[in-house]
Amino acid sequence: MPIDIARYSKLISPKDTGHNEEREARLLERCPPGHEGTKLIDIPVTILDASGAIIAWYLPDALTDATQKEIWAATDLLAPMLKTSIKADGIWRTNQEWFTLHFENDVLTPGCLNLSPAWFQQGHEVGSDEMRISVSASLKGPSSEDILKAIARPAAIATAALRVMHPQQYWTGLQAFASLGDKAGSKELLKMSETLQYWAMVFNILTIICNRETLNHRDHSSILECFDILTSVGNYSNAQMSIPSLQLEVRYDPGCMIAFSGWIVRHGVHAVEGDQIGWAWYMRDAVHIYAGIPSCGWARLDGKKSKG
């Protein structure tokens, strides 16, 4: 695509949530993807910018049936917490308006839940205040070890995929967890130390989303140059992910895997027919700042390290 992703990233501010259609139209006019209208993608692709930097990966059928069943079982284990995550009002991510309501005979409990061994409370992502970082509430209960074991194999698969997609990000993630382990030990953060022993991935956040329509948005908790990996499973049909900043629609069938920077690439998921589970793996910048880890640069097809 005739877009310079590094320059494009400098046009996007934290105020660009992806919800302002007029603002997004101006961004699209300034950085057009180079084709007319919206294209549908349903085959494996790697999307490059004008410099050879990788914007996105799309891998349909990336997850085996066995892995999809593991993700479903792990999500089912989280049903009590998913149920309480939905709110009557507040931010759209957990607002009941966007979820398919749960009835007695439904198979899957809707909700949106974050799992993390190193979680900064909203408004305290300063990167240096040890009193503000802790294990996410979802991993503080008596079932935390069971949850971590249940997500371990899919987590390892997402990590292995990242090793191929963005090697520098993979090594940055490993360095971050080595630093987190040292800090947790020196600061006597016992629950964090315990959780890190079972955290089988280089990503520091896993967000689990069940039966929710996802508005077109940007994720400013992500890192500009890093990939978020999105996986989807379920018994649904007719699902598509919208990527309006690139004028693309991609088939979001069970078992697919998509990777891009959630900060840069505006995206959303249409409502589906049936039960759908989305797992989003990503790295939170505040955690890397706290761990003292520098930026990894952009992923490139030629493997060279590139800075913005």
Taking the C-alpha atoms of residue 108 and residue 212, their distance in angstroms, rounded to an integer, is 11
Residue 124 has pLDDT above 80, yes or no: no
- Residue 171: which residues within 8 A CB-CB, separation 6 or more? 296
Whole-number pLDDT of residue 34: 87
User: Helices 190-198 and 144-165 sit at what angle, rounded to 10 degrees?
Assistant: 60
Residue 126 has pLDDT above 60, yes or no: no
87-96, 115-124, 248-257: which is most confident = 248-257
Whole-number pLDDT of residue 133: 85
Do 282 and 229 contact (CB within 8 A), yes or no? Answer: yes
Q: What is the per-residue pLDDT across 35-46, written as a single tens digit (0 to 9) for each?
A: 888 999 999 999
Cα 292 to chain centroid distance, Å, stands at 22
pTM of the predicted protein model: 0.93
CA–CA distances in Å: residue 278 to residues 71, 93, 113, 209:
9, 13, 11, 5
* Local confidence band at 122 (pLDDT 50, 70, 90 cut-offs): low
